[in-house]
A and B are shown apart, each in its own frame.
Chain A
Amino acid sequence: MKTNFLKLVTLVAVTTLFVACQETKEKEISQKVETTTVQEVAMADKGEVTTAKGYGIGDIATDFKLKDIDGKMVSLSDYKDAKGFVIIFTCNTCPFAVASEDRIIALDQKYKEKGYPVIAINPNDPEVQPDDTYELMQAKAKDKGFTFPYLYDTSNTVYASYGATKTPHVYLLKKEEKGNVVKYIGAIDDNVRNGDAVKDQFLANAIDELLAGKEVSVKETKAIGCSVKQKKA
């Protein structure tokens, strides 16, 4: 009797373990599948992201309310004295974004006091790009000593309304009576790879022109960047 009971216990215990183990496996497999699906959806979605119009020169950019790395919410309307904004969609690990970090800090330090502060927004969904979690954004901002807000686009809508397709992707806005008008879209300068070899500082030139009361002469530029990592909404 005792032996039979032990046998039963053993059987139950082993079965339970097997089932538990199987569940873990299945869970892992389903997680894997989920990740794959997310990526595939993101890929399929990319066509839509690029064809989505976003802002053009002269459009009014809508305000947003996004969380900064210190937990505070940031909106354009918070900046009562700003003459405009340098909105930069950027992220933690894209080599082009990383290569631009020092230049973005320098731009903020130079133009914040002149009325054009930098506001950086991370458009990537950490479920698709695991290096872009809020915690890793905090670490990045701290390590690099970001002097500007680094916002988390949790709603996944701000990048789309602007029409940002990649990181880094710059939008220069000028505060006018009718709203924040888009004055320049594109790259920081003509050499993302090497800041020392830059010949044409597109963004700085555009801000200088606005500060001098002129129209921006080079309104749109292009640069290679990492595609915005998003899954389908």
Chain B
Amino acid sequence: MKQLLSILLTIVLVSCRNNTKEVAVDADTVVETITDATTDTSEAIENASYNDLELVDFAEFESRYLQQPALETTYVINFWATWCKPCIEELPYFEELNKNYEDSNVTVVLVSLDFPKHIEKQVIPFIKKNNLQSKVLLLDDPDANTWIPKVSEEWTGAIPATIIIKGEKQQFYEKSFTYTELETELKTIL
């Protein structure tokens, strides 16, 4: 009987402990990721050819998506960064939208505003780990005061921010999205 008791106790205690441990590990991982993003001081990387990521300056970005966008394509352009928690949380919805509206000529473009020096340690591993399917650009243009108003006069510079463009029609959002909200906004412009 005593043996049974101790076995039962052990089982209960162990199952209890496992559960706590799991939660603690989750929290640690989050903190670690955030710390990494801020303490890395590695040198800037000159090479701009990465398989999963294209570096562009604002002039290139503007001519490609803002000035003369293809009339038949709807661009959903999301400004994000690997260190931006609300951005990371909404990325799956943009990925889902990209997949679900592939046949409706909708292209999702994820524009990373990470620092170029974090490309190899932070951005590329993030893209690979999350297996991002949408087009990912890194906007490498430090003079934000010049280009932010060209994206939208409404934009204060906080991210996440999103712009939906089809021909002459443009809508800007400085907010986080749920999938439903994002789909609703897309449908108003499609």
Contact = CB atoms under 8 A, between A and B. Distances in A.
A63 interface: no
A46 interface: yes
Interface residues of A, number: 52
A25 B156 contact: no
A166 interface: yes
Given A42-B86, A165-B158, A193-B115, A10 B142 contact: no
A39 B88 CA distance: 12
Contacts of A193: 115, 142
Contacts of B144: 187, 190, 192, 222-224
Contacts of B23: 28, 32
A208 B2 CA distance: 82
Given A18-B12, A226-B84, A25 B5 contact: no
Contacts of B83: 94-95, 226
Main secondary structure of the interface of B (DSSP, over half): helix
A97 to B, nearest CB: 9
B42 interface: no
A194 B117 CA distance: 11
20 contacts: A6-B1, A21-B15, A43-B86, A43-B176, A46-B174, A46-B176, A47-B175, A50-B158, A50-B174, A50-B175, A165-B156, A190-B146, A192-B144, A193-B115, A194-B142, A199-B143, A222-B157, A223-B144, A224-B158, A226-B84
Given A14-B12, A187-B157, 13 more contacts: A3-B1, A28-B19, A39-B85, A43-B176, A47-B173, A99-B115, A165-B174, A190-B142, A222-B149, A224-B113, A225-B159, A227-B84, A227-B160
